[in-house]
Chains A and B, each alone.
Chain A
Amino acid sequence: MTSVGMEVSAFRGGSSANISPPGLDRKGDDPDGRQHERALVRRAQDGDRDAFGELYRLHLPAVARLVRFRVGREDEDSVSEVFLRAWRGLSSYHDTGVPFGAWLYGIARHVAIDALRRQGRDEPRDELPDRAVEPMTTEVLTLRGAIDELPTEQRQVIELKYLVGMTNEEVAAAMATTPGAVNARQWRALKALAEILEEERS
């Protein structure tokens, strides 16, 4: 898959929204890229570490964004843990049309949950506000709380589109629906998110 982690379709929207996350190599909707990724996955499943290294480079930005968003801070250990679990569980991934990035997304969510649990156990509660000093953290935490209140399907669309960076077609494949339905869910989710944030503000 070429565009997972490389292209957030929403980033292409409008001139002001044309934001390319740093370190991302855009390839557009090149179908050959998808085939290339499939080949990489097959090689990695056969134990080819170099192929897995290439997959790592392809998906690192998306995984790092997701971990950062879910954990609330940069956490390279968690990012490594995602790929380590992916390597160990590669045999359980079957290419049934669901993008490899969506599979990684599932792993990353679990790793983030584990990291948050560890964080809750290891750190005293009174240390938590200190992290809000980090620029963006307050905003991220607020948004994350609001996103978690969304219905599951809307939350998944938001995370897959904005954090993992999937196109509508890829999200549709991951969620077994149509790109049109993904588009509708995305905007409805944003509207619901705006309402949640407005309620919290008031």
Chain B
Amino acid sequence: MSADLERDLGAWSRGELARERLLATHGAMAAGTIALHERLAGIAAATAIPDPEAGWAALAEKIETPAPVVPLRRHARRRRTVSVLVAAAILVGGSAFAAVWRSSHPATPPARSGATVTGVPAAGAHWTGASGDRRPIPPPSAAGASGGPSGGAAGATADGTGGSGSTTSGGGPKSTDDPHDRDQGTGNDGSHNDQGSGNNGTSGTLPHVSHGGGH
């Protein structure tokens, strides 16, 4: 069907084009379409329509109760708001708990072997070293015990595993130590660059060079 025919049929259906003109222009093609159009229109027009008043009276009896208007969206919005509030409360509460916990439990690195050694100078045999290394060690020597802040020596008195400060460098700062390293080679503050002066990591792993001078 051509666009012209569609356009002219539309114009005819709106009463803007005479039927004769349409048929004269498009011939049989338009005639068949017009015939079907009128057939459908005739079927629609011939349909008997029930009496509206009687029909409504019968229907009204069935719809006595008002239509249930359920504001679904409003409920959904409320649920969404509650969910957001609960999530926010959990977030804030969790953050607050974490802050309190952190302030009451100072941050301590997992591997505390060096600290254990220096903090408990004469507690008899105790455990040190990496988590997998659970050998009893003898009490620290007097030198190690008196090492004090220069715990590299104390660490060295352990087993050289977690605190392997050498006898030559364990007590004092080295030039290669990190300037921000507070304990300057004592090896007790976890993840710092102590360049072989003791504990060199949170996990208590072995330093690159361990002199094990504690024995």
Please list the residues of chain B having a beta carbon within 8 angstroms of any beta carbon in chain A.
1, 3, 5-7, 9-10, 12-15, 18-19, 32-34, 36-50, 52, 55-56, 58-60, 62-63, 66-70, 72
* A16–B48 CA distance with the chains assembled, in angstroms: 21
Say whether A187 contacts B41, CB under 8 Å: no
Say whether B19 contacts A10, CB under 8 Å: no
* A8–B38 CA distance with the chains assembled, in angstroms: 12
Is A4 on the interface with B (CB-CB < 8 A)? Answer: no
Contacts of A49 in B (CB 8 A): 60, 63, 66
* A184–B15 CA distance with the chains assembled, in angstroms: 17
* A17–B16 CA distance with the chains assembled, in angstroms: 13
Is A103 on the interface with B (CB-CB < 8 A)? Answer: no
Say whether B67 contacts A10, CB under 8 Å: no
Tally of contacts, chain A with chain B, CB under 8 A = 153
Say whether A187 contacts B52, CB under 8 Å: no
Contacts of B55 in A (CB 8 A): 56, 60, 76, 79-80
Quote the shortest CB–CB distance from B37 to chain A (angstroms): 6
Question: Among the listed A13, A57, A65, A140, which residue makes an inter-chain contact with B12, where contact means beta carbons less than 8 Å apart?
Answer: A13
Interface residue count for A (Cβ, 8 Å)? 59
Quote the shortest CB–CB distance from B19 to chain A (angstroms): 5
Quote the shortest CB–CB distance from A171 to chain B (angstroms): 13
Say whether B45 contacts A22, CB under 8 Å: yes
* A52–B65 CA distance with the chains assembled, in angstroms: 13
Quote the shortest CB–CB distance from A197 to chain B (angstroms): 8
Nearest B residue (CB) for A83: B59
**4 closest Cβ contacts across the A-B interface?**
A47-B66, A13-B13, A23-B49, A183-B10
* A190–B37 CA distance with the chains assembled, in angstroms: 7
Say whether B46 contacts A136, CB under 8 Å: yes
Contacts of A61 in B (CB 8 A): 47, 49
Say whether A47 contacts B45, CB under 8 Å: no
Nearest B residue (CB) for A15: B19
Please list the residues of chain A having a beta carbon within 8 angstroms of any beta carbon in chain B.
8-23, 44-47, 49, 52-53, 56-57, 60-61, 64-65, 68-69, 74, 76, 79-80, 83-84, 87-88, 90-91, 136, 139-140, 143, 158, 162-163, 165, 168, 183-184, 187-188, 190-191, 193-194, 197
* A91–B73 CA distance with the chains assembled, in angstroms: 11
Nearest A residue (CB) for B38: A17
A19-B45, A47-B69, A65-B44 given; A56·B50 CB < 8 A: no
Contacts of A45 in B (CB 8 A): 67, 69
| Chain A at the B interface: SS class | helix
Quote the shortest CB–CB distance from B64 to chain A (angstroms): 8
Contacts of B12 in A (CB 8 A): 13-14
Question: Among the listed B40, B56, B58, which residue makes an inter-chain contact with A143, where contact means beta carbons less than 8 Å apart?
Answer: B40
A76-B55, A143-B40, A188-B6 given; A65·B47 CB < 8 A: yes
Say whether B69 contacts A90, CB under 8 Å: yes
Say whether B13 contacts A12, CB under 8 Å: yes
- Supply 14 A–B pairs (Cβ within 8 Å), ascending by A: A8-B41, A11-B41, A11-B44, A11-B45, A13-B12, A17-B38, A17-B41, A53-B56, A68-B47, A79-B55, A187-B5, A187-B6, A193-B36, A197-B36
Say whether A162 contacts B13, CB under 8 Å: no
Quote the shortest CB–CB distance from A111 to chain B (angstroms): 14
Question: Among the listed A10, A21, A140, which residue makes an inter-chain contact with B13, where contact means beta carbons less than 8 Å apart?
Answer: A10
Nearest A residue (CB) for B9: A187
Contacts of B66 in A (CB 8 A): 46-47, 49
Nearest A residue (CB) for B54: A76
Contacts of B5 in A (CB 8 A): 187
Nearest B residue (CB) for A179: B10
Say whether B43 contacts A139, CB under 8 Å: yes
